[in-house]
Chains A and B, each alone.
Chain A
Amino acid sequence: MSLEIINKPILATIQDMGRFSYSNIGVSNSGVMDEYAYLYVNKILGNDFGTNALEISFSNVQFKVNASTQIALTGAKCEFFINNVLMDTWETHNIKKGDILKVGRIIEGTRVYLAVSGGFDIKKEFGSNSTTIKEKLGGIDGDKLKKGDILPFKSSQPTYKKRLHQEYIPKYSDELILRVILCSQEDNFSQEEKDKFFSNSYTITNDFNRMGCKLNGEVIKSDINGIISEGIAFGAIQIPSDGQPIILLKERQTIGGYPKIGTVFSLDCFNLAQAKPNSKIRFTPISIEEAQEKLRAFYHYFR
């Protein structure tokens, strides 16, 4: 009872909420880049919070179905075929032995989440299925999915179809506003530099992966060259000496030494995860109190 990869995907990995409490020995949190799409794919399948799913970047992954189950796809708008018939995403599909699934061209957004009922039956590594390729941890042999990989699952009976209401399906735009919590090294940036940061627009460069997202735009200067290396948060905005911000994402290193002007609010990092190079970004401040309240409401809904 499994899905079998029958082509050569560019980048598809098994992910979940991430790997926690090993940062003190240098292990990255990793985990899904876009929790919004990921939590919904599990919710519409009726899966437990934190069930694993596939994160598919770029395009073209093909699977052979070896037993009946229910699946769903969320995230980036893509061409999704079951036996060459174009299907909708953000809804459940019953699939059966012999079916061929294909995630083709990605049209809007960048990351697709594919989950099966009950999740893939894969052994966790340090409490998580999240694949971190550079650490060779999680997933299948700590690597991206390859032709011939088998993703086992427990078969399930076909059931009625569930579809997410249109209003909850995100539109991925080329212009994003990211809310920022000012943080520890804020004082190392003058008011003038902070004003520059919040009033200019930045462009996403090609240096954008699971580790971080490098921006290009108005140069920001801090009054220090570097800090003494310290633990870094999801969404932290580092300002290296060239003055171009880098937003650190799920697969960030655990400790870093660049000054940080603030941290992008997690919910907005999930939107950022679906953005493309050349998209425009603006920053706006948010208080820690408001951010915590909004994040509690978000997780409360999915738990």
Chain B
Amino acid sequence: MIFKVASVDSLVIYFGNEISKEIAQDVQKAYLSLRSLNIEGLIEIIPSYTTIYISYDIFKYDYLSLVELLKQSINLEYEDNSSKNIINIDVYYGQEVGLDLSDMSTKTKLPIEKIIEIHSQKLYDVYAIGFAPGFGFLASVDKQIAVPRLSSPRKSVPKGSVAIADRQTAVYPQSSPGGWNIIGRTAMELFDKSLEKLSPLSVGDKVKFNAISKEEFLAQGGII
């Protein structure tokens, strides 16, 4: 663990410098152990691929005193007893919602059906949640269908869009600007203010995408 200042009242802990399952597991264990300790004065704890960002109350800690406390508190051997959820997300991969499918087909030299098959076959890990409420960074997409971000982002990506950027995939929980390649759409709410657990996704969960028909998508409340 390497500690670095992020701002007057925040720091970042580095667990490695590449995206890998092992490092993600360390992040996860450190994150869960910190959560379980309920340390007073930690305001935000944001896990990502290789880091944990923490903002803190400067009336309780200065930078060095908090680093000391964290070094003593973080347990990388933490036994994670929480059951890992597999979250199923139904996706309609039709071309009228999969806005970049035909471009991707050209780039990958794969037929659209094959892209869909490859995307919906795998179980993805939730590495981080951010960018927008409920936006989960999922990895890793099969190399064959990994395509880079669009050279110029769209001003508005429709809510529920399922997308790919390099070896990551995600669902846009709300309409927002974005530059990922859109391959389909889901009717599932990824951020619901009325639920106690606001987002169905948590770091450490797994996600499975299921291809559904247009009729099923519409029946689930999907909008085209």
Q: Chain A: residues with CB nearer than 8 A to chain B?
A: 20-27, 29, 125, 134-137, 181-184, 228-236, 253-255, 263, 265-266, 288-289, 291-292, 295-296, 299
Contact = CB atoms under 8 A, between A and B. Distances in A.
Contacts of A289: 62-63
Given A24-B46, A231-B46, A292 B8 contact: yes
B192 to A, nearest CB: 11
B48 A235 contact: no
Interface stretch (B52-60, B69-77, B83-91, B114-122): B52-60
A22 B133 CA distance: 9
Interface of B: 4-10, 12, 14, 17-19, 43-53, 55, 58-59, 62-63, 128-135, 137, 174, 176, 191, 193, 198-199, 203
Contacts, number: 136
Contacts of A296: 58-59
Nearest to B49: A228
Contacts of A135: 132-133, 174
Given A26-B132, A229-B130, A292-B8, 16 more contacts: A23-B46, A23-B55, A25-B198, A25-B199, A26-B199, A183-B4, A229-B48, A230-B46, A230-B53, A232-B6, A232-B53, A233-B53, A255-B46, A255-B137, A263-B6, A265-B8
B58 A266 contact: no
B131 A26 contact: yes
A23 B44 contact: yes
A231 B131 contact: no
Contacts of B198: 22, 25, 27
Contacts of A29: 44
A266 B128 CA distance: 26
A231 B5 contact: no
Nearest to B11: A184
A105 B199 CA distance: 42
Given A134-B132, A254-B131, A266 B7 contact: yes
11 contacts: A23-B46, A26-B135, A27-B133, A134-B132, A136-B174, A181-B5, A181-B8, A183-B6, A230-B50, A230-B51, A295-B58
A296 B57 CA distance: 10
A27 B6 CA distance: 19
A25 B126 CA distance: 12
Nearest to B17: A228
B125 to A, nearest CB: 15
Contacts of A183: 4-7
Contacts of A233: 6-7, 9-10, 53, 55
A289 B49 CA distance: 29
Contacts of B8: 181, 235, 263, 265-266, 288, 291-292, 295
B161 to A, nearest CB: 16
B33 to A, nearest CB: 15
A229 B170 CA distance: 14
B124 to A, nearest CB: 16
Nearest to B42: A21
Contacts of A254: 46, 130-131
Contacts of A182: 5
Given A254-B46, A291-B8, A231 B130 contact: yes
Contacts of A288: 5, 8, 63
Nearest to B131: A253
Contacts of B18: 228
B5 A184 contact: yes
Contact of A229 (B6, B7, B137, B193): B137
Contacts of B62: 289, 292
Contacts of A137: 133, 193
Contacts of A236: 6-7
Nearest to B173: A26
Contacts of A229: 48-49, 128, 130, 137
A132 to B, nearest CB: 9
Nearest to B127: A229
B193 A255 contact: no
B74 to A, nearest CB: 16
B203 to A, nearest CB: 8
A235 B59 contact: no
B51 A228 contact: yes
B44 A231 contact: yes
A295 B9 CA distance: 9
